[in-house]
Amino acid sequence: MDFISILSVFVLACFVGYYVVWSVTPALHTPLMAVTNAISSVIIVGALVASMAAGAEIAKWLGLVAVALASVNIFGGFAVTERMLAMYKKKER
Amino acid sequence: MPEALPVNPWVSLAYLVAGVCFILALRGLSSPATSRRGNRLGMIGMGIAVVTTLITHDIASPIELAAAIAIGGAIGFVTARRIAMTAMPQLVAAFHSLVGLAAVLVAAAAFLNPVAFGIAQVIRPIFGPDVVTILPVSRIEMSLGVAIGAITFSGSVIAFLKLNGNMGGKPILLPGRHVINLALLAAILGLVVLFVEDQSPWIFWTITVLSFAIGFLLIVPIGGADMPVVVSMLNSYSGWAAAAMGFTLHNSAMIITGALVGSSGAILSYIMCKAMNRSFVSVIAGGFGGDAGGGASGAAAIDRPWKRGSADDAAFLMSQAEQVIIVPGYGMAVAQAQHALREMGDKLKAHGVRVKYAIHPVAGRMPGHMNVLLAEANVPYDEVFELEDINSEFAQTDVAFVIGANDVTNPAAKTDKSSPIFGMPVLDVEKAKTVLFIKRSMGGVGYAGVDNELFYRDNTMMLLADAKKMVEEIVKAIE
């Protein structure tokens, strides 16, 4: 992809983000932060690329540490969001 | 020509699908009923992104990689299961710091091994070693990525220490901090420009170090009550860091996610600032919530008459009421009073009292903090209302029960132009027939350091005790 098409994806995604986030109910703002935390760990993709590449030993280890950190976030973020969301219950009638 | 990444349309498509899953994950949060499905979609998206990356690259060291994922995943999962709900703000801050650090490490790895990321131009001269030049656009992207990541990391560490109580909540003010911060920011931007011309390692590492420093300096002067804004802002930064790395990797999943998270954090910061009637700049400049004026108004408090009530009085008043609105704040979280509070609500409901909860947007230490705690205590979410939805109801309410909130109920915000919180939207609790206000003692003031008018009103009854103990006593006293 050339720079302009990437930039287009980015700008459009910002608009999507704007409208989607405004539609989130304020009661779920804490789970919102937890889940955005989890998904921003998609940076693990970069960490995986670095850790798998042959050639630079230091870069590989930096990548591996980044993979571990991002994994903490992915598993922790989704699990804690799941735990919180499970607590939101409607009135029993 | 640059060495392009292997272009397989299916790979790009897979990352796009992952990005769409993340959008739907956030969309699900528009209502508690659809939220869990959303979270599952988020997990699926992450799975797609990781698996796609793994199968399209040759894995040089599978054992180390598996170990890294297993160790990180186990730590994350166990922490998530064990953490107390009251500790959620510091957990989120800690998670932010990890995203920031991961971004720094990925950017550093990309700098050290640009060929693997497909962002380098390699010239192979007939004699001598290969000349590897990082593409100029990629240099901007990676230097911004490392800078934002480093700020996110050090800022989140400070936010974590403050929220976790390892560091005082009071702002620490360095002399000339604005000048230092602006100079650092200018230096970082200058170095980013220089880095485009010259890919020397010292520039890259200096940017990294300066960014760590500015993240630290930015958050240190910000007081505890402004933490909801800080946590949201760092949330936003972690997104922008991911987006910057997405540009480096030409990866649409990362770019979409980064944009989503970045806007999410920015919107939350905006909502929090608006709920405090403060500008974003004034929050970031820091220094709010110090002890300025605290002593003076504290002394004034003793001189003015106020009424003290007991648990029995409170129990009697509430069980006779038609409607009770409970207003929780950070003090409820500190006292862990949410379970006792729900018990009190149940008992009142058994007496035919309508019980509702009113939440101010900045109650607690992060957006939605109170809602999570009430949900944890099994309070049904349809009994919990936001400020604008419930504020008109106080006038028809018999008892407003304020537990651990202070500034967000202060009527001075509506009338006293000299008050530091003037103009902040507040809950109109004083319009209720009776206000019951739980507070540990009359001496202290809220985070804003202002005395609360509400204490001295004729219809206010102060319940001076630890929040949890007081609620438990009221529960016992309700017949």
Burial of B15-54, coded b for 16+ CB within 10 Å and e otherwise, reads bebbbbbbbbbbbbbbebeebbebbbbbbbbbebbbebbe
Gyration radius of chain B's alpha carbons? 26
* Nearest by Cα to B68 from A57, A33, A69: A69
pLDDT 10s digits, B28-62: 999 999 999 999 999 999 999 999 999 888 777 78
Beta strand pairing call for B354-359 and B323-328:
parallel
Q: What is the pLDDT of residue B446?
A: 66
CB contact under 8 A, B50 and A45: yes
What residues have CB less than 8 Å from B53, skipping those under 6 apart?
A44, A45, A48, A49
Average pLDDT of chain B, as a whole number: 87
In a domain, A76, yes or no: yes
Domain count, chain A: 1
In a domain, A58, yes or no: yes
Beta strand pairing call for B399-403 and B384-386:
unpaired
DSSP state of B5: P
CB contact under 8 A, A37 and B96: yes
Kindly list the strands in the beta sheet with B354-359, ordered across the sheet, starting from the edge strand earlier in the chain.
B384-386, B354-359, B323-328, B399-403, B434-439, B460-464
Burial label for B466, CB within 10 Å (0-12, 13-18, 19+), is middle
Distances (CA, A) of B320 to B65, B391, B400, B479: 64, 22, 13, 11
**Min Cα–Cα distance to chain A from B438, Å:** 24
CB contact under 8 A, B102 and A47: yes
* Mean pLDDT of all residues in B423-447: 84
CB contact under 8 A, B27 and A80: no
Q: Return the number of CB contacts < 8 Å for A and B.
A: 383
What residues have CB less than 8 Å from B111, skipping those under 6 apart?
B134, B142, B146, B201, B204
Q: Is B142 on the interface with A (CB under 8 A)?
A: no
Q: What is the pLDDT of residue B128?
A: 77
Q: What is the pLDDT of residue B296?
A: 37
DSSP state of B325: E
Cβ-contact B212, B153 below 8 angstroms: yes
Distances (CA, A) of B197 to A17, B133, B145, B463: 34, 11, 18, 66
pLDDT 10s digits, B374-399: 999 999 998 999 999 999 999 999 99
Cβ-contact B123, B131 below 8 angstroms: yes
pLDDT 10s digits, B310-361: 889 999 999 999 999 999 998 898 889 999 999 999 999 999 999 999 999 9
Helical packing angle, A29-40 and B88-112, nearest 10°: 20
Which of B32, B57, B235 is the closest to A27 by Cβ?
B32
Residue-number span of the structural domain to which A81 is assigned: 25-87
Helix (H, G, I), strand (E, B) or coil at B134: strand
Catalytic residue among B407, B428, B458, B466: B407
Cβ-contact B116, A50 below 8 angstroms: yes
- Residue ranges of chain A with pLDDT lower than 70? 1, 92-93
In a domain, A38, yes or no: yes
Q: Is B407 a catalytic residue?
A: yes
Helical packing angle, A44-52 and B88-112, nearest 10°: 40
Please give the Cα distance from A37 to B342 (Å, whole number).
Answer: 30
Asked whether the predicted pLDDT for residue B450 surpasses 80, the reply is no
What residues have CB less than 8 Å from B3, skipping those under 6 apart?
B115, B118, B120, B121, B122
Query: What percent of chain B stands above pLDDT 70?
Result: 93
pLDDT 10s digits, B226-275: 888 889 999 999 999 999 999 988 889 999 999 999 999 999 999 988 88
DSSP state of B373: H
In DSSP notation, B209-248 reads HHHHHHHHHHHTT--GGGHHHHHHHHHHHHHHHHHHHHHH
pLDDT band at B292 (very low <50, low <70, confident <90, very high): very low
**Chain A residues with beta carbon closer than 8 angstroms to that of B241:** 40, 43
Q: How many CB atoms lie within 10 A of CB B329?
A: 27
In a domain, A33, yes or no: yes
Higher per-residue pLDDT: B307 or B17: B17
Which of B81, B257, B375 is the closest to A40 by Cβ?
B257
Gyration radius of chain A's alpha carbons? 18
